[in-house]
Amino acid sequence: MVKLDLKVFPSGPLDTNNYLLFNKQSRKACIIDLSSSSGQLFDFLRKEKIKVDFVLLTHAHFDHIGGLRNTDFPFYLHKKDLVLLSDPEKNGSFFFTDLIAVERKPHIYKESLNFSGLKIDVIHTPGHTPGSVSLKLDNWLFSGDTLFRQAIGRTDIPLASGEELIKSIKEKILILPNETIVYPGHGPSTILGQEKETNSFLVI
């Protein structure tokens, strides 16, 4: 069975987690979210002679897409976040010093895709943005800015919805096995069972 290695490279103005999934045998990889200033990630790719097949975006806020401007990697995005890609006001970069607009067209997510012979499930989890997704590979869940350790995503921003966010988490994430490892868009990883029991935003 294929075994993937996982490395995380926090970078950019908000320390966004850039996740690198790679196959040591084939030297092929995919990246989950790609922020600006991701030099350490690119240094690792060069050093290990790893080729990136594609980038998977959990959503299209500026701190998750900024690195796309410096690459020609194919990338995937949910169709409901297309409006954020090239609009600095909607993707949030307008409120920082560097206006970010990605003009390249993405591949649009379907229900799943394959990398290195393994299935990645694409779970639409709107709330933080209309097109936010969580990506599930075996017992790993890359939750973007939907669910964090002891926190949930912000909804006091354009196009966000607190009601939708809670619904997405409860109906699409909390139904997963307790042993699921959650890798969020910012901060440390967590175990889903722990969040079910102790996350004050979810425990009633």
Taking the C-alpha atoms of residue 186 and residue 118, their distance in angstroms, rounded to an integer, is 25
Q: Provide the edge-to-edge strand list for the sheet that holds 118-124.
A: 112-115, 118-124, 133-137, 140-144, 181-184, 190-191
Q: pTM here?
A: 0.96
Question: Topology of 5-198 in CATH?
Answer: Metallo-beta-lactamase; Chain A (3.60.15)
Q: Which amino acid is at 127?
A: G
Query: How high is the pLDDT of residue 37?
Result: 82
pLDDT tens-digit profile, the chain (204 residues): 678 999 999 998 899 999 999 999 999 999 999 998 888 999 999 999 999 999 999 999 999 999 998 899 999 999 999 999 999 999 999 987 689 999 999 999 999 999 999 999 999 999 999 999 999 999 999 999 999 999 999 999 989 999 999 999 999 999 999 999 999 999 999 999 999 999 999 875
User: CA angle 157-89-156, nearest 5°?
Assistant: 5
> Alpha carbon of 180 to those of 38, 116, 135, 142: distances in Å?
27, 21, 12, 10
Under 8 Å between Cβ of 151 and 128: no
Query: How high is the pLDDT of residue 1?
Result: 63
Tell me the H-state helices in 25-174.
39-48, 62-65, 82-85, 88-91, 162-168
Q: Where are the domains of the chain?
A: 5-198
Taking the C-alpha atoms of residue 196 and residue 173, their distance in angstroms, rounded to an integer, is 10
| The dihedral sign for the CA sequence 18, 35, 195, 164 | negative
Q: Which of 91, 43, 97, 21 is nearest to 63 (CA)?
A: 91
**pLDDT tens digits along 45-75:** 999 999 999 999 999 999 999 999 889 999 9
